[in-house]
A and B are shown apart, each in its own frame.
Chain A
Amino acid sequence: MEVGKKLLLLLAAGTVLWMLGVSLPRGVNPYVLQIAILCGINIILAVGLNLINGFAGQFSIGHAGFMAVGAYVSAAFTFYMGRSWVAAHSGSGVPDAWLAAGCLFVGLLLGGIAAALAGLVVGLPSLRLRGDYLAIVTLGFGEIIRVILLNVEAVGAARGFADIPAWSNLTWILFWVAITIAVCWNLVHSTHGRAFISVREDEVAAEALGIDTTRYKVIAFVIGAFFAGVAGGLFAHYLAYLHTNSFTFVKSIEIVIMVVLGGMGSITGSVVAAIVLTILPEALRPVKDYRMVIYSLLLIGLMLVRPQGLFGTRELTLSGLRRLWRPRRAPGALG
């Protein structure tokens, strides 16, 4: 009964996502669609980074590095193996679109796993380093990845990796946004989530209570990096072209800003901030040259007014919204 209900809910959610993904692109112009897709990718990145920075309290500024690992690994897979596999099985009765979808799924998983392994490697120094020292290590990691990719001939080196199969679309991105949010939400609202937060709040006390702080720091890095890798893969198969310039330090900072602005330790905050910060630079296009000036001023203003971020550590929930909307009755009005 309980399981059946859950399955039905999942199925319904899946159908809605699929219909959204299929119907939206027809109704809107490609520019708006592209912004929607970038919103989705940024949500995955920001929610994953929030697990590391917001919940586990480990300051990482190398998230674009994980994204790059996922992007290049998944793109290399579909470019060198996936495409020929789809061609070989074409006409076997299974529609090509399905074959491509299966291939993309495997590619995204491989990209995610590769990024997660990178997360494991970067997570290990976090056992010894704290705060700004760790930040420098993650920054260095991001740059190392970028420079390495810039020199690998098989993925286009400095020319960029062109001709990647353009199999990604809004449906896929909505699907992974949903997965990312569901996994991170369930995790931080469980007993494991409290272990993450205890590491952030007071590592010595957490350790003294028997919490394996080492394990939780590494887990945060691995899961955050996995989703960054998937986001990278989605990005690669949407643009069909990759260049290391997309994964510079600036991109990492952009994601950090989303997490900080939304609230360190608020998943819905990261979602809202990712959407706002993706749309804002586009919405400011009419002011031309002053665009980035206004963008920066808005950020500074927001940080002055709400230093804890838009949401702080709170979450935006349906029941919370309902409470907000319902007209408040004065306590005396009943008598």
Chain B
Amino acid sequence: MPTGSEASSGLVLEHVTHYFGGLKAVDDLCLEIQPGELFGLIGPNGAGKTTVFNLITGVYTPTAGTIRLGARTLNGEASGRVCRAGVARTFQTSRLFRSMTVFDNVRTALHPGAHPPLLDSVLRTAASGRAEARISAQATALLGEFDLQAVAGRPAGELPYGEQRRLEIARALATAPRVLLLDEPAAGLNHSESAALMELIQWIRERYRLTILLIEHDMRVVMGVCERIAVLDYGRLISTGAPAEIRRDPKVIEAYLGEEIPPGS
């Protein structure tokens, strides 16, 4: 039975506004994303979607408004602290550690949660050995779940594009988040790859019991996996609702979709 306190344990944005100089990139945005929800954020280019991600993850501090995860206020926190509070993200353009191996990319993400004291590592104590073994075991398990164990030893920059995207999601999950922000995960993927991605996103949510916030231009993916969708235009929220409602909303059609998408596409 949802109560008031439970409802607020999700990710909440209250009257969030952000200016870049004189440009209002995000305008009085209010969103409430329930725990465990798969939420889509769509809108035309330049609507402020990625800015919203950057505001949530502490890359920018909002000019006004508050961002909360449960009872914790996130705005004004550095992105490292936001991550440790339980918000992980991927980036629109891949930001893997390209010269590091696939395995080490994931191990790096496990570091903040499991590292031994620096001096232990310098002296190679038994405790540091155990911590390293734990990190490696977790990384191996995660790579197994994402079907990346075969390429574990290769530099991340050498992977095919689809695997790079998968690795980025695996690396974000290594930080043990409660909320996962995916910034255009289907960009550049072909038809069958994006179909596999849809399955993967749903599987991740079930497997890790996460709240997922998704920015995506591929309407098939957004409409297919999201339970609710918010539409931004010029930094303002113009509509929120289930995919079926969004599809029919004349404001959304005018600003973004262009024409009504026939159901079942």
Contact = CB atoms under 8 A, between A and B. Distances in A.
A195 B111 contact: yes
A69 to B, nearest CB: 22
Chain B CB within 10 Å, residue with most, of A192, A206, A210, A213: A210
Contact of A186 (B124, B126, B171): B124
A191 B135 contact: yes
A197 B111 CA distance: 12
Given A205-B95, A209-B175, A211-B112, A186 B79 contact: no
A163 interface: no
A197 B97 contact: yes
B122 A186 contact: yes
A276 to B, nearest CB: 25
Chain B CB within 10 Å, residue with most, of A187, A192, A197: A192
Contact of B112 (A193, A209, A313): A209
B47 to A, nearest CB: 22
Interface string B59-80: 1000000000000000000111
Interface in A195-229: 195, 197-198, 201-202, 204-213, 219
A303 interface: no
Interface in B70-108: 78-80, 83-84, 88-89, 91, 95-100, 104, 107-108
A207 B78 CA distance: 8
Contacts of A219: 118
B29 interface: no
Chain A CB within 10 Å, residue with most, of B112, B171, B172: B112
A75 to B, nearest CB: 27
Interface residues of A, number: 26
Given A201-B100, A207-B80, A210-B80, A194 B111 contact: yes
A7 interface: no
Contact of B132 (A2, A191, A210, A213): A191
Q: How large is the interface on B (under 10, 10 to 19, 20 to 34, 35 or more residues)?
A: 35 or more
Given A209-B171, A209-B175, A192 B121 contact: yes
Given A191-B111, A211-B111, A212-B112, A201 B80 contact: no
A47 B17 CA distance: 48
A2 B124 CA distance: 12
A190 interface: yes
Nearest to A195: B111
B36 interface: no
A129 interface: no
Contacts of B132: 190-191
Contacts of B91: 205, 208
Nearest to B90: A208
Given A197-B100, A198-B97, A209-B175, A191 B107 contact: yes
Contacts of B100: 194, 197-198, 201
Contacts of B57: 208
B255 interface: no
A155 to B, nearest CB: 32
B123 to A, nearest CB: 7
A198 B95 CA distance: 11
Contacts of A19: none
Contacts of A194: 100, 104, 107-108, 111
B98 A201 contact: yes
Interface in A157-215: 183, 186-187, 190-195, 197-198, 201-202, 204-213
A190 B59 contact: no
A210 B112 contact: yes
B189 interface: no
Contacts of B83: 207-210
Contacts of A198: 97, 100, 108
B236 interface: no
Given A191-B135, A198-B108, A213 B80 contact: yes
Interface of A: 2, 183, 186-187, 190-195, 197-198, 201-202, 204-213, 219, 313
18 contacts: A186-B121, A186-B124, A190-B128, A194-B100, A194-B104, A194-B107, A195-B111, A197-B104, A198-B108, A201-B97, A204-B59, A207-B83, A208-B79, A209-B172, A209-B175, A211-B80, A212-B80, A313-B99
Interface of B: 57, 59, 78-80, 83-84, 88-89, 91, 95-100, 104, 107-116, 118, 121-124, 126, 128, 131-132, 135, 171-172, 174-175
Given A204-B79, A212-B80, A213-B80, 17 more contacts: A187-B122, A190-B132, A194-B108, A197-B100, A197-B108, A198-B97, A201-B97, A202-B96, A205-B91, A206-B97, A207-B83, A208-B59, A208-B79, A209-B111, A209-B172, A219-B118, A313-B99
